[in-house]
Structure 1
Amino acid sequence: MSDCLQNCKITPYYRNLLDSLGLDHPLRRTVERRDDCTPMPGELADPLGEESHSPVPGLVHTYPDKVLLFATLDCAVYCRYCTRSRLVGKSKEHGAEGRGLKKNQVASLACFQYLEQHTEIRDVLVSGGDPLMLSDADLDDLLSKVRKIKHIRTIRIGSKVPAVLPSRITPELAAILAKHRVWLQLHFIHPAELTAEMTRACDTLAKAGVPMVSQTVLLKGINDDTDTLAELFYGLLERRVKPYYLFQCDPVLGSSSFRTPVEQGLQIIRELQGRISGLAMPTFAIDAPGGGGKISLLPNSQFRREGNEIVLTNYQGKEYRYPDPKT
């Protein structure tokens, strides 16, 4: 299997949604295998440099006071533009097990020992994979272990489950998340995902007191226009999900058909600022390739172009390059 070719996985719910939208709907491109994944210059298997910032298997420590903790490498749906496609949706030899990680047992004792020893850590983002694919009991156990560490103040979970498997969101699950004071960072990419089932899932979470924000990836031909994103962000806000980040698509292997020019994203933000409520506005950002962290881009942001790359400066004053071919 090619390093940029994932297996295909989709829930019956999301398949039915796509079928109802028609054969030509752009959302299909995000999950159905296509032949448009040829690696291009500047693309990387690990675009965020996570493996070089992993002191123990199952944990990434890029920022001084924040870490990413892998809860599982299982997902309800495999997204073709996934930053961690090197780990998720691959065969054993090419995926997680080839890197010393077990698909369903990632957050090891070493991870929790590391968290306890590093008292500078304040914020833990539990991710994967999708943590909400764990059973209630396993998720409760993992969150209990994190919450017992006194210097950790914030726990976040990144998930696409409400968009692709909303039936997983039950009052029992919501109660666990509320008990551990978890912030949910939910992944939505198109207003077609804002279904009645998704709305009920968000209502269940909101009624339990679980705060929710959204993260959206800007994707060529799928949501890269002002009208689509305005509808998405207002729709999320109606469902008590605060739009948080709009991300430039990471340069993962085989992602060129999904990536938009950086200037296009900036133009969309300019147009959105004149159209939607400030409460519905996300922050446009690039995750600096190689592990530089998130770099926010404003409509008047200035960056240096060198050939088919733009040069970005992160919070440490270090420069990072993002592949951005001239159009």
Structure 2
Amino acid sequence: MEHSIQNVVRKYPESDKRQVALDRADELKSQIKDYLQESKNIPTGLMLEQTFHERKRQILNYFGAAEDDWNSWQWQLRNRISDVEVLKKLLHLTGEDAGQIEMVSKKFRWSVSPYYLSLMETDNLMCPVRMQGIPSIQELQDIWGKDDPMAEEFTSPAPRITRRYADRLIINVTNQCAMFCRHCQRRRNIGEVDRPAPLEEIKAAIEYIRKNPEIRDVLITGGDPLTLSDGWLDWILSELDAIPHVEIKRIGTRTPVTMPQRITQELCDMLERHHPLYLNTHFNHPKEVTAEAMKATRMLAKAGIPLGNQAVLLKGINNNPHVMKKLNHELLKIHVRPYYIFHAKPVKGTTHFVTTIQEGLEIMENLRGYTSGLAIPQYIINAPGGAGKTPLLPQYLISMGKDYAMIRTWEGKVFRCSNGI
């Protein structure tokens, strides 16, 4: 039914306006009732703090380590679990489970930090954290994924550079991560050995940026750049600071999620010297928003670094409107602004996570109007072949004429609006 703004405003006498407001409030309460009910059953990392603490104690006991070890990012990195025999002692695995992980590991590398392992349910194969960190036989059953669906090898005009847009680019500084996510878009680069980019290749990348004055925005990524030392990162950022046309730097990292111990005061003090600097991270489920992650993000925020989140829409993990909304609410509590929801790319070995586009649009339908704008990221699909990020939205503009536009609101009401004065 078509509405007009004038009718909505004027159809009630002045004396009835309060009652109209009360009726509307009741209507709004009914619209959020289902989320309030469902959200009680969605586990969050902050709710599960005691459970995670017990798991931490078990893992520390296995390694014969202490609390100070746990809080050391170097210890976390050195003790990543990448052996099935070790995993069997820390996570419930059947013989079949262990055999399948061994089979997958012959083709795709895996590794998980002790911290991230502590967030996994020990006996639930469908735990959304476990699914992101532990290999699945489905990785070997993928018949339509591609090694490089983004065609990054054709968008690299200099060593370590990926350039798809006019004014910005990526520097890939390492293949190392605190955990090799099972949905990783660059698993082709992981290899079998951790290798930071050689100095000469980083210098060549920086020289390319220096010679191209239209580049105003540089994203440092990998792998995970925060697996590099403070000194190495400081040098890269200083080199970029010295280029007059580079206006901002960004760091893409998952360490606040998979190894929050990396966010030290020393790191924050160093990063604070390189403003304007932004950091995007990668939480995918509310269980990942833990007390330790919150400590890390608050330290970064205190250093004046704006934080954004780039979630990936993953089947069985977050392809549910209530779960995604809960995630975004939890992120705002820890100073992280939901930035993107990426439609999963068809990367070889990961397509069991790929959802339909309709699922992504349904999530957006259940965010717009049903929660604050701060909690609404953009839903993005990467056009094939590296053609760039394309935002997708439910259809709110129905039609448009010279002097009018027909729009659909978040509630499905249709209005005719003036197009101009």
Tell whether the structures are fold-level matches, with TM greater than 0.5: yes
Match of 1:56 in 2: 158
Match of 1:32 in 2: 134
The answer for the alignment partner of 1:127 in structure 2 is 221
Structure 1 contact 4–39 (Cα < 8 Å) conserved: no
Q: How does 1:91-170 map to 2 (within 5 A)?
A: 91=192, 102-105=195-198, 107-170=201-264
Which residue of structure 2 aligns with residue 254 of structure 1?
A: 349
More helix by share: 2
Gaps of 5+ in 1: 97-101, 303-327
Instruction: Summarize deviations over 1:47-92 as a string: whole Å, max 9, x none.
Output: 111110101221111111111001211100001111101002x336
1:314 match: none
Report how far residue 25 of structure 1 moved: 1.0
1:132-176 alpha-carbon deviations (Å, 9 max, x no partner): 111111110111111111101110000000001111101111122
Does the CA-based 8 Å contact 1:6-1:80 persist in structure 2?
A: no
Residue 301 and residue 128 in structure 1: after superposition, are their counterparts in 2 closer, same or farther (change >3 A)?
farther
Q: Distance in 2 between matches of 1:213 and 1:75?
A: 19
In the TM superposition, what is the alpha-carbon distance from 1:197 to its structure 2 partner?
0.4
Residue 271 of structure 2, aligned match among 173, 177, 184: 177
Q: CA deviation at 1:226?
A: 1.0
Is residue 65 from structure 1 mapped to residue 158 from structure 2 by the alignment? no
Structure 1 partner of 2:392: 297
Q: What is the one-letter code of the residue matched to 2:240?
A: V
The Cα shift of 1:272 comes to: 1.4
**Distance between the aligned counterparts of 1:44 and 1:301, measured in 2?**
34
Q: What is the number of residues matched between the two proteins?
A: 292
1:177-200 Cα distance to aligned partner (Å, 9 max, x none)? 221121000111000011110011
TM-score by length of 2: 0.66
The aligned runs of 1:206-285 (5 Å cut-off) are 206-285=301-380
Alignment-mate amino acid for residue 8 of structure 1: W
Q: 1:20 to 1:148 in 2, by over 3 A?
A: farther
Alignment match, 1:315: none
Give the Cα–Cα distance (whole angstroms) in 1 for the partners of residues 316 and 125 of structure 2. 15
Look up the equivalent residue of 1:235 and give its one-letter code.
Answer: E
- SS of the equivalent of 2:176 reads coil
Separation in structure 2 between the aligned mates of residue 202 and residue 91 of structure 1, nearest angstrom: 30
Residues 1:218 and 1:113: Cα distance change in structure 2 (over 3 Å)? same
Query: Partner of 1:137: helix, strand, or coil?
Result: helix
Distance 2:152 2:386 in 1: 7
Q: Is the 8 A contact 2:128 2:285 kept in 1?
A: no
Corresponding residue SS for 1:125? strand
Q: CA RMSD in A?
A: 2.1
SS of aligned partner of 2:278: strand
Runs of at least 4 residues of structure 1 off by over 3 A? 1-5, 19-24
C-alpha contact 2:121 2:127 (8 A) present in aligned 1: no
Give SS of 1:44's match: coil
Structure 1's 265 and 241: CA in aligned 2 closer, same or farther, altered over 3 A? same
| % same residue | 40
Structure 2 CA distance for aligned equivalents of residues 20 and 151 of structure 1 = 50
Supply the AA of the counterpart residue of 2:112. Answer: I
CA, structure 1 residues 116+301, in 2 after alignment: closer, same or farther (shift >3 Å)?
A: farther
The residue aligned with 2:63 is none
Give unpaired runs (5+ residues) of structure 2.
Answer: 1-102, 398-421
AA at the equivalent of 1:61 = R
Deviations 1:90-129 (A, max 9, x none): 336xxx9xxxxx5443752211110111111111010001
